[in-house]
Structure 1
């Protein structure tokens, strides 16, 4: 059945209640700044109180809250696009911390005995950690539907049907509830005839490019996302931007390369033309040395803290079924070097022999990966360990040994790695495999193979410390949700 090309009065948001919005009725969606100011000030106050109690010096505790908020403002961490979860937010917070360190160093140079630098270097890690955690908690609450007085930003997508469908699916898959797509205007509407199977369900089609402004006014959306395509030339985009500006609606231009992180893109004027410059990925070893040192230290600390739990799990695995507590498997690591990956055993000992008889149930078909929902080879304790990702804990030993990282692409067995195209395989092997990664926090085994590969490549090409912190912050939530953990 062909889907309707015009929106009815039961369209998204207020249209569902039969009350179409006019431009004057639309209350544009903005993330409130005051809660973020309060959270950052609270983080600095906590660090200041700690310094005051431990060292009895008052100057840094007195000025740190104001200096911290001011530094964040200088780094534009309170702009609307930075108040939504993402690596850009992490980067600006870390830059603000660097700015505070520079200021404290200058003060220490003139007054070396006042303890400015000492107290700042002690308080700043507490401040940064608390600010990032508080911001992440707020983003998690918004994703869970607790919008805390602010509404979700709504957008209409303009562009080719297939590109629009992929964008909508990507936003839904990543849990990006900060931007809800409430409709599409298609540039290839006449060529399709029907959008069934192209545009996800429950997303109405308003019409073509010429219907964009009317779609914005009827849906009361906050932004328009324009996708690249020959039908949206310079003249069309300029005309559209003027019309949207009159209604106070943002115009967002999606890049041709959708998987490129924002910091790798920069606008470079050439002969008066704004050209988009694409910076190469950070793949050299030198910038990754701090990451490797941090990985090993955190993994070693994790082993010490979690050793009682790991011992208890090992005992349960042995009691539940015959066989060793640890499962050892060859995996492909950095630059193609193989290593032995450690996991708690979650299957019966005859699991490999039964693989052939269960091949028809493989959710990835005839591909290299082998995964079955409700796999009969999994033990009772193994099912519990898999659900809570506890079977992965021994891989902290792989991290300490330098074979893995805390964050990176998942390590594949040699046969599954060989099944990938050569260029993709070589790209994945340019970084160490990780305990957690983009596809682990995006749905794990529920994702199709091509999506898992895409997310791994996205991580490799867009790696940064901020991206690692972002993934680590999302990992506990992914474990608790248990999506795709089987």
Structure 2
């Protein structure tokens, strides 16, 4: 046994992880270093133009790079990920004045330089974040062309693999490319093959597959057969071949910000932070929602009046459609939309029940619905029919971002776990809207809403608002 373990250690020590390293990583890191240096130099030039001092130009670039390195902005765990990468840059920017203060009191005693370094933190962060945003989008465009992606081997049960593949494909462009699967239950291979991914054998063939396929990443999913010793041997195999080894958690839809490793007597336990649902934590969101919605209503007052007039001229009936919806904690409220259907639409619903696109759940959606008016069809495709909900946001019934506002009859049919989506206000936009809207099956819409409730943060809201514009332009699932 001693000889076998020693041989394993030698293989790990002499293997070359560089050979399997993500092909874009080293170049991307160098470009980031150059971009950060230029951002610091540009910020120093701004400060020089404002105050006429050159010393900051010599001190700021190396100090900025040190701050970025200290906050691990170049670690492979953050590269190309977006939110986490930006968060680390901001932490480094906040630390920059502290570094400058320490240098001032310990070495320079130059109050002018201290002032300049503090003032330079804002433009340096703004330029660096803009550069990283542009570089990240360039990287994602490369991935969209299937360049630089990591060939990934999925290991686990067929059902879990199928679920993970569905999530990866719905999540947009990302680095991992499912190249094949090693199943713990080969008898269920048909469930994976129908997704167009080759089944390359069982768990015992993992080493051969990695070597033959040029695999760069191994993702292992939970399975009853995978105890600690099996997972340990898998990680050794990945280490020998120099590939990334990732474990998919048993509990899905938990954001990385809620996870932390807590070592206890040598055992790395994963702590899952409770969702942040207190009224105090949501007070800034409440204030921002109402003030921003009020500003938009004032800005769009004339266009909204024009749309209301067009709706009235196109067909008989009121311009606004009012409907009872369920808000936070199950409270009912009247939701406003521009009317897009004939006045007798509710009476005709029973005749169209057999055409429901969401027959697997509680939603009622019909493509080519004959009840929709000519103007209503345009309003739905462009999502302009949703704009009157800004009134609901100002009144406090809704939020700018949140789960879809359900009907009372839908809520009556909710199982206990789905009622959790009522812990927050419904939103004018949300995760389900930017992920496919009416094209999503009921289970997926629920999963996204519950994921939003559990993982809410200001950065998530901003991300959804940014993606909403793209979703509206595409018109995917809007009918």
Short-chain TM bin: 0.7 to 0.9
- Name the counterpart of 1:134: 134
C-alpha displacement of 1:455: 0.9
- Name the counterpart of 1:437: 430
CA distance in structure 1 between the partners assigned to 2:171 and 2:406 by the alignment? 23
Cα displacement string for residues 349-378 of structure 1 (whole angstroms, at most 9, x for unaligned residues):
221121111111112227431111111111
The structure 2 residue matched to 1:277, chosen from 271, 276, 280, is 271
Q: Secondary structure at the residue paired with 1:317? A: helix
CA distance in structure 2 between the partners assigned to 1:353 and 1:295 by the alignment? 35
- Name the counterpart of 1:384: 378
CA distance in structure 2 between the partners assigned to 1:211 and 1:453 by the alignment? 37
The structure 2 residue matched to 1:346, chosen from 340, 347, 351, is 340
C-alpha displacement of 1:222: 1.0
- Name the counterpart of 1:76: 72
Q: Secondary structure at the residue paired with 2:349? A: coil
- Name the counterpart of 2:218: 224
Cα displacement string for residues 193-216 of structure 1 (whole angstroms, at most 9, x for unaligned residues):
x42234542200000011111111
CA distance in structure 2 between the partners assigned to 1:207 and 1:375 by the alignment? 47
- Name the counterpart of 1:16: none
Q: Please tell me whether residue 172 in structure 1 is matched to residue 188 in structure 2.
A: no
Alignment of 1:462-477 (within 5 A): 462-477=455-470
Conserved? CA contact 2:358–2:365, under 8 Å: yes
- Name the counterpart of 1:257: 251
The structure 2 residue matched to 1:326, chosen from 314, 320, 325, is 320
Conserved? CA contact 1:162–1:199, under 8 Å: no
Q: Secondary structure at the residue paired with 1:422? A: coil
C-alpha displacement of 1:445: 1.0
Higher helix share: 2
C-alpha displacement of 1:450: 0.9
C-alpha displacement of 1:97: 4.0
CA distance in structure 1 between the partners assigned to 2:350 and 2:423 by the alignment? 32
CA distance in structure 2 between the partners assigned to 1:401 and 1:256 by the alignment? 40
Q: Please tell me whether residue 91 in structure 1 is matched to residue 87 in structure 2.
A: yes
C-alpha displacement of 1:133: 4.4
Q: TM-score, with normalisation over the residues of structure 2? A: 0.84
C-alpha displacement of 1:468: 1.9
Distance 1:184 1:52, change over 3 A: same
- Name the counterpart of 1:203: 197
> Unaligned 5+ residue runs, structure 1?
1-22
C-alpha displacement of 1:163: 0.6
Q: Secondary structure at the residue paired with 2:322? A: strand
Range that drifts further, 90-99 or 122-131 = 122-131
- Name the counterpart of 2:157: 160
Conserved? CA contact 2:94–2:121, under 8 Å: no
- Name the counterpart of 1:407: 401
Distance 1:320 1:124, change over 3 A: farther
Q: Please tell me whether residue 268 in structure 1 is matched to residue 262 in structure 2.
A: yes
C-alpha displacement of 1:449: 0.5
The structure 1 residue matched to 2:290, chosen from 264, 273, 296, is 296
Conserved? CA contact 1:266–1:278, under 8 Å: yes
Conserved? CA contact 1:77–1:89, under 8 Å: yes
Conserved? CA contact 2:35–2:128, under 8 Å: no
Distance 1:134 1:58, change over 3 A: farther
- Name the counterpart of 1:7: none
Range that drifts further, 390-399 or 215-224 = 390-399
Cα displacement string for residues 170-213 of structure 1 (whole angstroms, at most 9, x for unaligned residues):
10011243211111000111xx2x42234542200000011111
The structure whose RCO (Cα within 8 Å, separation 6+) is larger is: 1
Distance 1:207 1:281, change over 3 A: same
> Unaligned 5+ residue runs, structure 2?
1-16
* Matched residues, number: 457
Distance 1:74 1:455, change over 3 A: same
Q: Please tell me whether residue 186 in structure 1 is matched to residue 183 in structure 2.
A: yes
Conserved? CA contact 1:439–1:456, under 8 Å: yes
C-alpha displacement of 1:412: 1.0
CA distance in structure 1 between the partners assigned to 2:469 and 2:283 by the alignment? 25
Q: Please tell me whether residue 446 in structure 1 is matched to residue 439 in structure 2.
A: yes
Distance 1:407 1:86, change over 3 A: farther
- Name the counterpart of 1:33: 29
Conserved? CA contact 2:39–2:124, under 8 Å: no
Alignment root-mean-square deviation, CA = 3.3
Cα displacement string for residues 303-327 of structure 1 (whole angstroms, at most 9, x for unaligned residues):
3444444344333323322223222
CA distance in structure 1 between the partners assigned to 2:289 and 2:45 by the alignment? 30
CA distance in structure 1 between the partners assigned to 2:42 and 2:310 by the alignment? 41
Distance 1:269 1:366, change over 3 A: closer
Conserved? CA contact 1:314–1:326, under 8 Å: yes
Conserved? CA contact 1:158–1:186, under 8 Å: yes
Q: TM-score, with normalisation over the residues of structure 1? A: 0.83
CA distance in structure 1 between the partners assigned to 2:389 and 2:35 by the alignment? 35
Conserved? CA contact 2:90–2:125, under 8 Å: no
Larger Rg over CA atoms: 2
Distance 1:375 1:269, change over 3 A: same
- Name the counterpart of 2:12: none
